[in-house]
Structure 1
């Protein structure tokens, strides 16, 4: 009997040791900018649709959108804009085609991407509707400094700073917050803060309900690993390594304090952020809410799959609550 007990103890110790290793590895991969394994292997495992490009109608549409965004990025009314936040130097691209307008949008990119890649086309569409635009690179992304990825939680405070920068330019600005992927969760996490009245409408495309649940989804789908006890250990490690908890980084908890109109968008073919998270976010918010679900669209691709329907829905929603 004693031998069996020792075998059980050894097995439990071995399992916990392996779980700690897996949790530590996962945190290093997910939350630090400089991680070679993510760039060579992890990205393809977590978001395979990014690597399945061909010559379909959607690939051709994406190419055209990226070209339009690149041209917009270099327009004469565009300029680089920098902001010092703590020890970080954050970058954004500022577009002011309409110096006298009060209509502004801040467009926030996704995980391990950057503003030009994800949001230049979106910004160009807003400009066609008469908006000035600010497109930041989140900390540890693009041209912004930093090594710790904020997953929207640290970024929500940076977004508050960017809002204040817009208000320095135009004190009476009416501001739309638009985000995709991690940028969508950044917008939703920001919604629970003490926002100025200038922020009128929120649009969140394929955002996760919390970092804890998003990482749980990735452990299951990409790594084929169980959530427990790995995710519990990872949550504790995150507190020590990056200064925030995976559980506290919750769009759902922040949306419970939100009273602004929110449009939620998701594609049913999303393999990176499960589209079912839209329903959790929808249920959580206290403000006016609507949703748009695009059939079969992969992660952050809804405006590629149904561009006309997508932007008609977005601008109709915005104009309803922000004249």
Structure 2
């Protein structure tokens, strides 16, 4: 019996040691810009659809959209715009094609991406509807400085600064917040803060319900590891490493304080953020809410799979409620 007890103790110690190592490794690769494991290995593990490109109708549509977006990005009415916040230099593209319009949208990109890549085409579609646009690069992304990835939680505070910047440019601005992936989480997490009356509504595409839940989903699907006890340890380590807990970074908790109209969008083929999170987010919010679910669309690809239906739904929602 003593040998059995000893073996059990040794196994428990091994499990704890391995879990601590796995939690620390996962946090380092997930939350620090200067760790390049994600770009070399992790991205394909976590979001394989981005690496299965061919010449399907959807790939051709994406190419066409990217060309349109990049051409729009370089127009004369676009300029670089910077903010200094907490010693960091934060970049955005300020796009004012309609100087007399008071309609504005702030478009927020996804995890380890940047504004032009994710939002140039979306920005062009908003311009067609007479919107002026601001597209930030989130802290530790794109041209913005910083090393800690905020996963939307830290970014919500920077988004408040960008909202203030728009209202400085146009005090009468009527602002829609649009986000995709981590950008959607950023918008949802910002929704629980005190926002100026200028902010009229939210559009969130494939955002996660919390960082804790998203990391748990990634551990199970990409790493084939159990969330417990790795994620419990990671949650505690995160407080020391990056200054916030994974549970604290919750779209659900913030949406519970939101009263703004919100359109939730998700593709059922999403392997990066489980589309079931849409229902959790919708249930949490107190504002007017509608959803758009696009069958089989991979992560942040709903406007590639059904572009007309997607943007018709977005602008009908905005015109109705915002």
- TM-score (norm. length: structure 2): 0.99
Question: 1:38 maps to which residue?
Answer: 38
Question: 1:269 maps to which residue?
Answer: 269
* Match status 1:10 vs 2:7: no
Shift of 1:95: 0.3
Shift of 1:285: 0.1
Secondary structure at the residue paired with 1:292?
A: strand
Question: 1:163 maps to which residue?
Answer: 163
Question: 1:285 maps to which residue?
Answer: 285
Residues 171-223 of structure 1 show CA distances to partners (whole Å, capped at 9, x for unaligned) of 01000000000000000000000000100010000000000000000000000
Paired positions, count: 322
Structure 2 CA distance for aligned equivalents of residues 152 and 38 of structure 1:
18
Equivalences for 1:166-245 in 2 at 5 Å?
166-245=166-245
* Match status 1:27 vs 2:22: no
* Match status 1:99 vs 2:99: yes
Residues 147-187 of structure 1 show CA distances to partners (whole Å, capped at 9, x for unaligned) of 10000000000000000000000001000000000000000
Structure 2, unaligned runs of 5 or more: none
Residues 269-293 of structure 1 show CA distances to partners (whole Å, capped at 9, x for unaligned) of 0000000000000000000000000
Shift of 1:321: 1.6
4+ runs of 1 displaced by more than 6 Å? none
* Match status 1:298 vs 2:298: yes
- TM-score (norm. length: structure 1): 0.99
Question: 2:132 maps to which residue?
Answer: 132
Shift of 1:99: 1.0
Structure 1 CA distance for aligned equivalents of residues 321 and 103 of structure 2:
13
Structure 1 CA distance for aligned equivalents of residues 287 and 279 of structure 2:
14
Question: 2:108 maps to which residue?
Answer: 108
Aligned Cα RMSD in Å? 0.5
Equivalences for 1:53-132 in 2 at 5 Å?
53-132=53-132
Secondary structure at the residue paired with 2:15?
A: helix
Structure 2 CA distance for aligned equivalents of residues 183 and 82 of structure 1:
19
Question: 1:253 maps to which residue?
Answer: 253
Structure 1 CA distance for aligned equivalents of residues 213 and 87 of structure 2:
30
Structure 1 CA distance for aligned equivalents of residues 153 and 138 of structure 2:
11
Shift of 1:2: 1.8
Secondary structure at the residue paired with 2:246?
A: coil
Secondary structure at the residue paired with 1:153?
A: coil
Question: 1:52 maps to which residue?
Answer: 52
Secondary structure at the residue paired with 1:81?
A: strand
Shift of 1:299: 0.1
Shift of 1:36: 2.2
Structure 2 CA distance for aligned equivalents of residues 254 and 44 of structure 1:
30
Shift of 1:252: 0.2
Equivalences for 1:141-152 in 2 at 5 Å?
141-152=141-152
Residues 60-94 of structure 1 show CA distances to partners (whole Å, capped at 9, x for unaligned) of 00000000000000000000000011021100000
Structure 2 CA distance for aligned equivalents of residues 215 and 36 of structure 1:
18
